[in-house]
Amino acid sequence: MKLSLGFSPCPNDTFIFDALVNKKIDTNDFDFEPILEDVQTLNEWSSQGKLDVTKLSLPALFGNRDQYTILSSGSALGKSVGPLLIGRKMVDVRDVAHCTIAVPGEDTTANFLLSFAFPTVTNKLFMLFSDIEKAVLEQNVDLGVIIHENRFTYQQKGLHKICDLGDVWEQRQEAPIPLGCIAIKKILEIDVKQKVDALIRKSLEYSFQNYPVVSDYVKQHAQEMEEEVMRKHIELYVNEFSIDLKEAGREAIEKLYKVYQGVKEIKSTDNVSLFI
């Protein structure tokens, strides 16, 4: 059975899917067609149901919960892993609402957490996550929300952390931050969903068994990133929740969904299941 599989070229995703797409593990009767794109592109495609299996930001999954459901493996959750609000100079948090802020995509968890922390912010400029530091440095925007490897490089460029948006979520909700998930089309048979879920877990376990070696596949898609930064990226975003959400991971996602329901004015009687 052939399935399209979308994920980002970031080290955490290529680390998870390396063994699966390169057949370093037995994929049985499954053949995966990898499609690597920025997560916001994947988010946008989800409304079209374009891919069979895909990485999604949680708000994008919530908005397309009639088409996709969350697998237990492959998610990005944790503590101290949230997006950062940065600027060329320190800004009083009371002034953030008056700033122009670069954000890595409208449907991203980063955008959702920015609105959660600063609900009066309206002047946002959506752009590719890797362009945000440059936009701040060149004063095209006042502030930027950074994710992925930029967490490890912004200080080297003379930028300053204004607020850790993940910390705001953790303190108010007393729960890990759910950033992204691996979703699969609901129309697929349950045994297909379960087998794909098991294969993703097996692929990740294979990568962990060979860590701290960073595979050529991860390096290939990390472009000019230093190997030390690749490892920091993997170690921050790939953890026990990535292997299996379990009850704690599901509860964290459900907390985020309740906040999302309030923002989007979705009736709490919506009984659409989020998980396989």
Catalytic residue among 148, 160, 221, 233: 148
- Tell me which residue of 31, 12, 29, 36 sits closest to 21, measured CA to CA: 31
- What percent of the chain is helix, strand and coil (3-state, nearest 5)? 45, 20, 35
- Tell me which residue of 131, 90, 74 sits closest to 253, measured CA to CA: 74
Q: Which residues pair with 53 in a beta bridge?
A: 5, 184
Q: Cβ atoms within 10 A of the Cβ of 218, count?
A: 26
DSSP H or E segment with residue 147: none
Catalytic residue check, 148 = yes
**Residues in Cβ contact with 36 at an 8 Å cutoff, skipping those fewer than 6 apart:** 6, 7, 8, 9, 14, 221
Which of the residues are catalytic? Answer: 148
